[in-house]
Amino acid sequence: MTQGKRRRTDHLDLFTRPSPVDHSRLMVVVPRHAQTAVLRNQLRRRIKEIGRRYVLPVLGAPMDVGIRARATAYGATFDLLRLEMIAALCPSSRTSSPS
């Protein structure tokens, strides 16, 4: 997370760099922020699913994507997290409209 580009949204810190392998990879970090394990795992699963379904398929070149949840992410909806990730990582994507 010390290399590449960093973007911040209201709920997430996003890091990208070219991947040394021939495919894109996703890393998710969800700090405790005084939340229960159930809420942390729920947030982690949401972020991984958004990355798997909406972000990784539309990246142009193989990229390593790191996502760190901020404390405010626990209160965000799935759609809000999806829109923030897509806007920050894939601004030219047409999947940013709600589906």
Q: Is residue 98 part of a domain?
A: no
Environment class of residue 81 by beta-carbon count within 10 Å: exposed (0-12), middle (13-18) or buried (19+)?
Answer: buried
Token pair listed for 52: 């798997």
- Contact of 59 with 24, CB cutoff 8 Å: yes
Instruction: Return the SS3 of 93.
Output: coil
Condensed to tens digits (0 to 9), the pLDDT of residues 32-46 reads 999 999 999 999 999
pLDDT, position 3: 78
Q: 43 is written with which tokens?
A: 């947030």
More confident of the two residues 4 and 40: 40
Q: What is the rounded average pLDDT for all residues in the chain?
A: 90
* Residue 40, domain CATH: 3.30.230.10
> Is position 96 within any domain?
no
- 84 found inside a domain: yes
pLDDT of residue 60: 85
5 touches 15 (CB < 8 A): yes
In a domain, 76, yes or no: yes
Mean pLDDT for the stretch of residues 16-35: 94
Q: Is the pTM of this model over 0.95?
A: no
Place of tokens 């997370």: 1
